[in-house]
Amino acid sequence: MSVKSWGEVALHTLLIFLLFSAIFPLTFSAANQPRNPKKRNPQASDSSSAIFQVEGNVYPLGHYTVSLNIGYPPKLYDFDIDSGSDLTWVQCDAPCKGCTKPRDQLYKPNNNLVQCDEELCAGIHVSKERQCAAPSDQCDYEVEYADQGSSLGVLVRDHITLRYTNGSVLRPRIAFGCGYDQKYSGPNSAPSTTGVLGLGRGSASFLSQLHALGLIRNVVGPAKLLFDGKDTSVKDLELIFDSGSSYTYLNSKAYQAVVDRVINDLKRQRLERATDDPSLPICWKGTKPFKSLSDVKSYFKPLAFSFQKVKNSQLQLPPESYLIVTKHGNACLGILDGTEVGLENLNIIGDISLQDKIVIYDNEKEKIGWVSANCDRLNEL
């Protein structure tokens, strides 16, 4: 939810998966979870992955969602996914502003408030000084996003159901926000989801809490930009993988390098600029409207980010990872000028460039890994 672009209606659904490396005994349930989850069961499998099916698209919907079962007995809630923020929150069954779901779909606290004196409460505040009138007071939170949206509420703790590739089930108690005052900016309507799944690196994030419980192992250095396998002289790019951004944003220098090379390479192609398409800043049209990316990708060359400190490590971006076909039948560049929209020198790898990629977080080594995959086939797992 860091930098959003909300569209109109979903034309199709893409399925991708989030995988988190984990260590755990073969079978868990709410009744038989270990009292000390940091102790590894000697008969446990070496590792496995928790899988969440993700639905949505970059265009025209502009976001992806994931569903999680919360509570016991579990109840299903859908979340916007944001690796650029820490706090997970769900809309609260309380007097609220900005609530978009019927009351029976909201989360109802059940004597499970996080207290103000807990360390986790300190982790969600910018100031290290916790403002607690009394230690047993509830832990209030407020989170703001780069798109000027925000959520205000109280921190709670409840069971969240995790299903793994080997069939095991965990229901750890995780802290998250119960939001009762949400704000959404701009001309677009509020998202239809019940909340936000925060996958950042802060202590209150979903991943950090799982690591603190001993349920997962904690999973990018500067990169240079390549066009068609050739060096562009743009280097030392610090990249942020942000599932909350629909598009990819590069600083002005890197963005202009991409635009210049793409435009120059297209001079020999039968494409011309589609200046009347308002979908994105730079679009092209062919002799007839494009129906899908398969109609247009052969005209464009691949991009890549080559990581300077890791030998033979590249994030490959084929044309389908940086182009969209609009409702007008044009091909548009899904990479935007981040400096122009206030991101200064940040470079954000958004959803468009993460399609059909399995992303694995190794928090202990502070590394992130990925592999290309046909994600439509993964829903068979």
Write a three-state SS string for 16-40.
EEEEEEEEECCCCCCCCCCCCCCCC
pLDDT for 284 equals: 97
pLDDT for 94 equals: 87
- Cα separation of 203 and 333, whole Å? 36
In tens, the pLDDT along 234-247 reads 999 988 777 778 89
Q: What is the CA radius of gyration of the chain?
A: 22
Residue count (the chain): 381
- Cα separation of 105 and 30, whole Å? 23
> Which is it for the CA torsion 354, 357, 362, 368, positive or negative?
negative
Cβ atoms of 251 and 347 within 8 Å: the answer is yes
Distance, C-alpha 315 to centroid of its chain: 17
93-99: average pLDDT: 80
- 318 CB contacts (<8 Å, ≥6 apart)? 297, 302
Which of 17-26, 141-150, 253-262 holds the top average pLDDT? 253-262
- Cα separation of 90 and 195, whole Å? 4
| Cβ neighbour number for residue 81 with a 10 Å cutoff | 24
Calculate the alpha carbon distances from 181 to 89, 130, 177, 288 in Å: 11, 21, 11, 47
**Looking up tokens 């900005």, which residue turns up?**
98
Residue 294 has pLDDT above 70, yes or no: yes
Percent of the chain whose predicted confidence (pLDDT) is above 90: 39
140 has catalytic annotation: no
- Cα separation of 105 and 70, whole Å? 12
351 has catalytic annotation: no
Question: Which residues does residue 57 pair with via DSSP β-bridges, in sequence order?
Answer: 63
Which of 79-88, 97-106, 111-120 shows the lowest per-residue confidence on average (mean pLDDT)? 97-106
What type of residue is 317? L
pLDDT for 90 equals: 95
| Catalytic option among 80, 242, 337, 351 | 242
Classify residue 267 by burial, with Cβ atoms within 10 Å: 0-12, 13-18, 19+: exposed
Helix (H) or strand (E) holding 223: strand 223-227
* DSSP structural state of residue 188: S
pLDDT for 23 equals: 32
- The strands making up 347-349's β-sheet, listed across from edge to edge, are 239-241, 347-349, 248-250, 335-337
What is this structure's pTM? Answer: 0.58
Residue 25 has pLDDT above 60, yes or no: no
Cβ atoms of 194 and 78 within 8 Å: the answer is yes
Query: Is the bond leading into 172 cis (omega within 30 degrees of zero)?
Result: no
| Selection from 170, 218, 207 nearest residue 26 by Cα | 170
- Cα separation of 313 and 78, whole Å? 34
Average pLDDT of the chain is 78
Question: Which residues does residue 78 pair with via DSSP β-bridges, in sequence order?
Answer: 67
| Catalytic option among 82, 86, 158, 337 | 82
Cβ atoms of 59 and 7 within 8 Å: the answer is yes
Output the six-digit token pair for 246.
Answer: 């629909």
Compute φ and ψ for 51, nearest 5 degrees.
-115, 135
